[in-house]
Structure 1
Amino acid sequence: MTHPPDLLPAVRAVPFARDLADHGDRPAVVTADGVLSYAELAGRVAETARRLGPQRRLVLVTGANTVDALVGYLAGLHGGHPVLLVPGDGPATRALTEAYDPDVVIGPVDGAWTLHERRIGSAHELHPDLALLLSTSGSTGSPKLVRLSHTNLQANAESIAAYLGVRETDRAATSLPLHYCYGLSVVNSHLARGAALVLTDRSVADDCFWELFRQARATSFAGVPYTFDLLDRVGFAAMNLPHLRYVTAAGGRLAPEKVVRFAELGRRSGWDLFVMYGQTEATARMAYLPPDLAASRPEAIGVPVPGGEFRLAALPEQPDGVGELVYAGPNVMLGYAERPADLASGRTVTELHTGDLARRGPDGLYELVGRRSRFAKILGLRVDPQRVEALLAAHDVDAACLGADDELLVAVAGEVDPARVRRLVAGELALPPRAVRVLALPRLPRLATGKVDYPALRELAAGPVAPPVPSAPAPDDDLCRLFAEVLDRTDVTPEHSFVDLGGDSLSYVEMSVRLERALGQLPPNWHTMPIGALPAPRGGRPRRRRALETSVALRAVAIVLVVGSHIPMFTLTGGAHLLLGVAGFNFARFLLTDAGRADRLRQVRSALTRIVLPTTAWIAAMLVLTDQYRWSNLLLLNSLVGPDDGRTEWHFWFVEALVYILVAVAVLLAVPGMDRLERRHPFGLPLTLAGLGLLSRYDVFGLDARYDLPTAIVAFWLFALGWAAARADGVRQRLLVTAAAAATVPGFFGQPQREALIVAGFALLVWLPTVPSLGPLNRVAGVLAGSSLYIYLTHWQVYPHLRDQPLLALVASLALGVGYAALVQRAGPVINGWLKRLR
């Protein structure tokens, strides 16, 4: 039992929690609802601390990213009460509550934040140095906790603030949970310096996170490796974040190639990347890699944090220079707690044996080379596979578990329902189901000793993917199936986005229309969002206003205008040139992703294949069946070598122009310097290229008059302007693109109606992401837009035979193109398989 009040030692408070009021009216917390000053925060903390009383008690706090949770956490530290931070009302929290019997619980009840006193006084004997209890194994429900002292918290907060150079003017976005030691270290280090927190529970995959980030003038955010995967998918490299000073990475190994890429992105954009290393047992951080070394030494964890030091403990089974990394410093925990009685213990640990194998490079930087134990980091959480195996054994499941990259692999033997195992493990560990992969086997691989053969298990896991086991559908299973069907992929997971899966402007049309039908109005950047971040499909008949993406609508309208004008059913030309602008728009959206240069070029090559193969296949067939075309048409060289006989020379000018432009742009971006320039100036580069394209549009040097330049050169500025339209961010840039189209298109054809159509199309593309529509109209527009290339190819063989019946000629031309598109779609997987075998 706790000592009587008159025998209690003087209450010890963590300085950064005790001294909040010293920062006066400086902003302390910024939320979507407003700003809370340090004085106001200190007042709320003091009031909650008074409610906790003068006697030290064990206080359980739900560590959500809310002002109420922050106040509860700080109030415990302010009053000298040991705080047990937990993730929420899940199995892990209930297990810890039962195991440690807290005296006070602070958290949400029926949506309202409450302070619930479970007893008067305390049921525990609490050591005077004890300040904080955190789970060490990723919320597995284990009663094993890390015991941290007041000195641990203050020392690590000061150390982190020192090497990051945290200023009073900084504002850190809470991109990680408060109950996670990494997320908590962001809070502690900024409060220690009087800086502000931009408090949000939104994911970096959510547009609302970045809206608040910009509005709050945030200067930093933290991420685990999975966070950086999401950043790639949401177009982080192209974001305008003028106040961003630095980004931190920890919670697991960030691949060296990603360290280099993000470090270079930061250098170009004016912010620093800090790669860090730590464990809960060290109150968060033990090492950091100076930003100026990130690009040259991306594989290193760096140097010890200020006040800390490393040594390498020799191991007999390791080569010279490699040992277990051992850390010492004022942030090393007091020790572990496995039962309430341990809360009375003082320091039992003086240095931390990390379990990581490391070596020290000639430059003094430390590098990790492996693990002594089987602990795994899954999405930044430390998970003990042995505890998972024990959990499943308690449910009569014979299982073996190991960490694999950013997922937990659970192999089960016998007649077991994999879906049940996945739900059980994910629920118990508080992990998203996508992070748990269940491998069903007839029996577990074992050594002669009878122990599980984990290397063999890892090889099995890395082998060919088995057909998916039927299971109860998760909320995003239907969407994964839809993406797999449309994109003809078998490897779709909730972490993938449309762009990740190789989606292009052709498949985008079908995907967007079908998603709109399933989900309602789509988020503006749905094609870069992970599938799991999309809203769940709605059941029944949804009541909502229908909308159609503007680029899809323009493609559908343009192809109808092209065919109708050629018949001629009406005279409203300009559709093909508008399609060239839309092509530039889609080029930027789908091919200029945040992937590396090699991946970008691979995507452009795939796009060219999807254009060239069906085009040449159709022309080859017509070359055999009719006398319309020549070899120059088949090789897409007519605009270069002729003949200029006026008969068929213009049939495929649009396809030739598009192919030439894509090849030229790919060659341009294959130059490393140009690739870097595009990433640094995603709007400026295409606008500059559009300006250069205007030299041929206005024939400044008289080349067109003398040499009859190909349309690809003369009309290139329209493609570049569409590219710039996709990259336009903010009103000024959109106005600039609109003004450029309005100033340069008139006079190009000498046909005001045609030019007005193109200018209007650009205006819609720039200012309206979607246009109002109806369900049936969406489906028709989707089919026409998705088949626009094929309609363009085939309509030349249809309408000349039906000129006397213009409407029938239009319908028949569209129908043949749609049919050819369906044929190509069916043949696609066969051709892809054939090409793979050739490789």
Structure 2
Amino acid sequence: MFGRLVDHLASRGDDSALLTVDRRLSYRQLADHVAASASDLGSQRRLVLLETRNDVDTMVNYLGALAGGHVVLPVTADADHTAMVDAYDPDVVIRDGSVLHRHRPAHELHPDLALLLSTSGSTGSPKLVRLSRTNLASNAEAIATYLDIRHTDRAATTLPMSYCYGLSVVHSHLLRGAGLILTDDSVVEDGFWDLMHAHRGTTFAGVPHTFDLLDRIGFDDMSLPHLRYVTQAGGRLAPDTVRRYAELGRRRGWQLFVMYGATEATARMAYLPPELAYDNPTAIGVPIPGGAFDLIPVEHSTDDPNGQTGELVYRGAGVMMGYAHTPDDLATGHTVEALRTGDLARRCPDGLYEVVGRISRFVKLYGLRIDLQRVETALQNAGVTAICAEGDGALLVAATDRPAGCDVALVAANASGLPRSAVRVLDVDEIPRLPSGKPDLLGVRALADRTAATERDAADLRVLFADVLHLDAASIDPRASFVDLGGNSLSYVAMSVRLERALGHLPADWPRLPLRDLEATKRSRRWWGTTLETSVALRAVAIVLVVGSHAGLYTLWGGAHVLLGIAGYNFGRFCLTPLPHAQRVRHLVSTIAWIAGPAVAWVAIALVITDDYTASNLLLANKFLGPDDSMTAGRLWFVEVVVWVLVALALVCATPIADRLERRRPFAWACAFVAVALAVRFDGFGMGREAWFTVLAFWFFAIGWAASKATTVWQRAAVTAMLAVGIVGYFGNPNRELLVFTGLALLIWLPAIRCPSAFTVAAGVLAEASLLIYLVHYQVYPLFGEHRLLGVVASLVVGVVLTMLLTMARRRIRLVGARPVGSRVIAPARR
């Protein structure tokens, strides 16, 4: 294939070669594009640095460079390639399909040399692997053979082309005339699966981290009728995960290929036949066709009663020509005959090979030789996902997903023989990884350095979190976020204002950022004001509009409906979070109690001192139970709508299927509720009863919910359009409709505003007290008769004072009678 690349492509005729969202290229068309690209690069061999994306331009330029006999150095687009460019001075640089730099060939290139790849999967290191056309052709043929790739297959590009695994998918499928579904979307994005369905994808490749992501999105329940096989490489996949996916594939009619390889072997060295995966989940399998393994005894390995053990050495046509450190090395021929992998392996009696450790992962600390792989295995057996490294004379453990009560440092100390004080645990949301998906050990050491510099200041934020959420500061896990610690739509107002003062700004999506990450974002105070979340500002303005309009100070109706939209917005932000299902439901029930509890308590007081309410108000059900002719009992409609909407949604969210659907497509799920709510808004399905008032007003809540899940411009535009459709004619008052539309449009498009510090503080206080202000103002402002301004101010002040007293009472109750929960909270992985 690689000798006569254009002819090979053309021979496949009209079969699909490249498939994208809006484009299909046949093999014949691809051959024409590749020939033109090769011609454009010229006949003299050049060193071509190609910035790669999984798109048509990259594929054409890559294949064009190979077809023209040039040497390709693929790097990841949008990364810093300064070190690589300085080290090798490429003759040609191709970025976004355009040639940006070209000069006369300045390098002496060995005639066999075809491809240069980074050894680590990153683009920062100038150490490169030199690969020949024979390497590429033989490895592609071997992979295509054991995978039984057919011309009808369609492989999705889940991995970067700068990574040997990603390129091996390209080479092996083009070799057999199969199609490539080009996408840079992650497997957690809807767009990826839309493409898989649209183009009848039969396969995709994954590193271990990919399978973690598949677990999060409910891959087990997906319908993929054309899927034929899934491949895994790029690191060891947990045995339980191998078994689970092997069994899932057996039930669903596809195969799991667990594979082993290295850039120095072009890509693949071994594969585990799918029928053996379930019973041999720790094995790497057998050598690929044309390859062979040897085991060389090493100093610190011992004889294994279950098979021969030693350093794994690979021989085959895929073994690299050698390394390159400088441009002079590009003229060197083959310097490597066999590849010493650095892995400790054993050959089992059944002929399968199993990697049991890594020679280079033995470190010496406190006079002890420590196997880091063994420590990681012990942690994994304890339910902890972690990687280990050595740094500053200590054992560094970057850990995530720890079970409650698990002492990670103690487990690592016992497994290594080190004293517990020699183990330093770094809590992370996700294991640091290279672009290839492999663990980033240098990143662990850099994280340790950064963590040491910020740990001293993190205590201040713990105190702040503890004060707002009524927790014990010492018990708060620095990996936990505001949402993880029980923060909700009521407490976030105080948290946002105080956090802005502490950090100098409000980071994007701060409620879901772990405390330690928030501390790392600290900035100096800006002289021109502070940042205030738009939802907080709107909440403050809306409650003032509500009180002033009811008191007759002015007539600006619509504030309550803006508050209803904000309630939906906060529902999406604080109730539909990445927390586990049971925790989500508990959080939602807690939110309902935070709203309904004060409302019922105030109604009980008002029943004693006034004639404003009836017994039905104690149930927050006046719109359902009446009386319909009361001038005052319907005043609490806003609270009734919010509470009963939340109760209904709590019942929906409690079902596993609804939970899975919302997690998989949060924006689409929210929009489905908007659509139903708008249908009710326009015809009401013939309801015509006051009891359905809650349902009729639900669309404002649903709009806010959809706004919280809108992450792209087109999604925000879609929510705005739905708002415009619903608001026109709803009140029969254009001014009121304009006010509500403006408020909710700001919520959709403007996440935060900068304003004077005094306004931020005032808005925060009013927004935090908005619920109690709404409840009490009906009884407060009438006390001032025609002094309407005093009545409005008094209503606001009374609501603020009662909120402060309630906060103090809650804090006292939590500190005296409740056990701390912060130390038991595990921060979810970042999306």
TM-score (norm 2): 0.61
- What's the counterpart of residue 807 of structure 1? 789
Alpha-carbon distance in 2 for matches of 1:42, 1:80: 12
Residue 461 (1) aligns with residue 420 (2): no
Count of residues paired in the alignment: 738
Paired residue for 1:569? 553
Counterparts of 1:311-330 in structure 2 under 5 Å?
Answer: none
| Equivalent position to 1:184, from 145, 167, 187 | 167
- Residue 733 of structure 2 aligns with an amino acid whose one-letter code is Q
Query: What is the match of residue 671 of structure 1?
Result: 655
Instruction: Please state how far the C-alpha of 1:662 moved relative to its aligned partner.
Output: 1.7
Q: How does 1:710-725 map to 2 (within 5 A)?
A: 712=694, 715-716=697-698, 718-720=700-702, 722-723=704-705
- Counterpart CA distance in 2 for 1:482 and 1:272 is 52
Change (3 A) 1:569 1:830: same
Q: Deviations over 1:13-59 (max 9, x none)?
A: 56658856778999979999x99965444444455473337xxxxx6
- Structure 1 residue 616: Cα displacement: 2.8
Distance 1:356 1:104, change over 3 A: farther
Change (3 A) 1:772 1:337: closer
Q: Which residue identity is paired with 1:769?
A: W
How much has 1:152 moved relative to structure 2?
Answer: 4.4
Corresponding position of 2:726: 741
CA distance in 1, matches of 2:717, 2:195: 20
Q: What are the Cα deviations for residues 629-656 of structure 1, in whole angstroms up to 9, with x where unaligned?
A: 9998777677778899969745655334
User: C-alpha separation between the residues in 1 aligned to 2:257 and 2:770?
Assistant: 47
Give, as a single letter, the amino acid of the residue that structure 2 aligns with 1:569: L
* Counterpart code for 1:737: M
Matched, 1:752 2:732: yes
1:31-430, aligned counterparts within 5 Å?
39-45=32-38, 48=41, 50-52=43-45, 61=49, 65=53, 77-78=66-67, 113=101, 120=108, 131-132=114-115, 134=117, 136=119, 148=131, 150-157=133-140, 176-189=159-172, 192=175, 193=177, 224=207, 251-252=234-235, 277-280=259-262, 283-284=266-267, 333=319, 344-345=334-335, 347-348=337-338, 355=345, 372-374=356-358, 385-386=361-362, 408-410=387-389, 412=391
1:372 aligned counterpart, secondary structure:
strand
Question: Equivalents in 1 of 2:726, 2:79: separation in Å?
Answer: 56
Residues 196 and 446 of structure 1: CA distance in aligned 2, closer, same or farther (over 3 Å): closer
- Judging changes above 3 Å, is the alpha-carbon distance between structure 1 residues 351 and 578 closer, same or farther for their aligned structure 2 residues? closer
CA positional deviation for 1:817: 3.7
1:752 is paired with a residue of what secondary structure? coil
Task: Give the 3 Å change call, closer, same or farther, for CA 144–299 of structure 1 in structure 2.
Answer: same
Q: CA deviation at 1:667?
A: 1.7
What is the identity, as a one-letter code, of the residue corresponding to 1:807?
Answer: L
Paired position in structure 1 for 2:770: 788
Distance 1:521 1:623, change over 3 A: closer
Contact 2:117 2:130 in 1 (8 A): yes
2:750 is aligned to: 770
Q: In 2, are the aligned partners of 1:741 and 1:759 still within 8 Å (CA)?
A: no
In 2, Cα distance between equivalents of 1:695 and 1:293: 59
- In structure 2, what residue type is equivalent to 1:565? S
CA contact (8 A) 1:61 1:85 kept: yes
Q: 2:569, 2:708 within 8 Å by CA — same for their partners in 1?
A: yes
1:593-624 Cα offsets, whole Å, 9 max, x none, are: 466xxx24523432442452475358658968
CA–CA separation in structure 2 for the residues paired with 1:463 and 1:600: 23
What is the DSSP-based 3-state SS (H/G/I as helix, E as strand, rest coil) of the residue aligned with 1:555? helix
How big is each residue's C-alpha offset from its partner over 1:520-542, in whole Å with a ceiling of 9 and x where there is no partner? 9998x897899989998887859
CA distance in 2, matches of 1:265, 1:685: 30
CA 1:149–1:102 in structure 2 vs 1: closer, same or farther (change >3 Å)? same
Corresponding letter in the other structure for 1:627: V
Distance 1:297 1:160 in 2: 23
1:447-481: CA deviations, max 9, x gaps?
Answer: 9xxxx52696898638999999875579x999999
Partner of 1:432: none
What SS does the aligned partner of 1:50 have? coil
Change in 2 beyond 3 A, CA 1:331/1:640: farther
How far off its partner does 1:113 sit? 4.1
The answer for the alignment partner of 2:443 in structure 1 is: none
Check whether the contact 1:697–1:715 (CA below 8 A) recurs between aligned residues.
no
Q: Which residue of 2 aligns with 1:761?
A: 741
One-letter code of the match for 1:752?
A: G
Measured in 2, the distance between the counterparts of 1:103 and 1:189 equals 30
AA of the residue aligned to 2:649: V
Query: What is the distance in 1 between the residues matched to 2:259 and 2:464?
Result: 37
Report how far residue 660 of structure 1 moved: 2.9
CA distance in 2, matches of 1:714, 1:263: 49
Residue 582 of structure 1, CA deviation: 3.7
Task: Specify whether residues 800 and 221 from structure 1 end up closer, same or farther in structure 2 by C-alpha distance, changes over 3 A only.
Answer: farther
- Report how far residue 666 of structure 1 moved: 1.9
Query: What secondary structure does 2:319 align onto?
Result: coil
Distance 1:515 1:112, change over 3 A: farther
Matched, 1:682 2:669: yes
Query: How far apart are residue 399 of structure 1 and its match?
Result: 11
1:665 Cα deviation after fit: 1.7
Cα shift at 1:569: 2.3
- CA deviations 1:370-392 (Å, max 9, x no partner) are 961148xxxxxxxx545xx69x9
Q: Is the 8 A contact 2:409 2:425 kept in 1?
A: no
- Aligned AA for 1:814? L
| Secondary structure of the corresponding residue to residue 373 of structure 1 | strand
2:216 & 2:793 partners in 1: Cα distance? 40
State how far apart, in whole Å, the 2-side matches of 1:758 and 1:47 are.
Answer: 58
- Corresponding position of 1:3: none
The alignment's TM-score, normalised by the length of structure 1, stands at 0.60
SS of equivalent to 2:638? helix
Offset from partner CA, 1:780-825 (integer Å, 9 cap, x none)? 5555445433432443564344344322332343344445556666
Output the CA distance in 2 between the equivalents of 1:88 and 1:736: 35
**1: CA distance between counterparts of 2:265 and 2:747?**
51
SS at match of 2:338: coil
1:682 alignment partner, SS class: helix
3-state SS, counterpart of residue 51 of structure 1: coil
SS of equivalent residue, structure 2 residue 669: coil
**Amino acid in structure 1 at the alignment position of 2:654:** A
Identity %: 35
Once the two structures are TM-superposed, the CA of residue 133 in structure 1 deviates from its matched residue by 5.4
1:95-132 CA distance string (max 9 Å, x none) = x999xx979776699x964669665566xxx8x5x655
CA contact 2:539–2:563 (8 Å) conserved in 1? yes
Q: CA RMSD in A?
A: 7.5
- Structure 1 477/161 Cα, relative in aligned 2: closer, same or farther at 3 Å? farther
Aligned 8 A contact 1:278 1:287 in 2: yes
Q: Which amino acid aligns with 1:603?
A: R
Contact in 2 for aligned 1:574/1:757 (Cα 8 Å): yes
Give 5+ residue unaligned stretches, structure 2.
Answer: 296-300, 399-406, 430-446, 825-831
Aligned residue number for residue 442 of structure 2: none
- Mark the CA change 1:133 to 1:691 in structure 2 (over 3 Å): closer, same or farther: closer
User: What CA distance in whole angstroms lies between the structure 2 residues aligned with 1:570 and 1:298?
Assistant: 76
- Between the aligned partners of 2:793 and 2:279, the Cα distance in structure 1 is 62
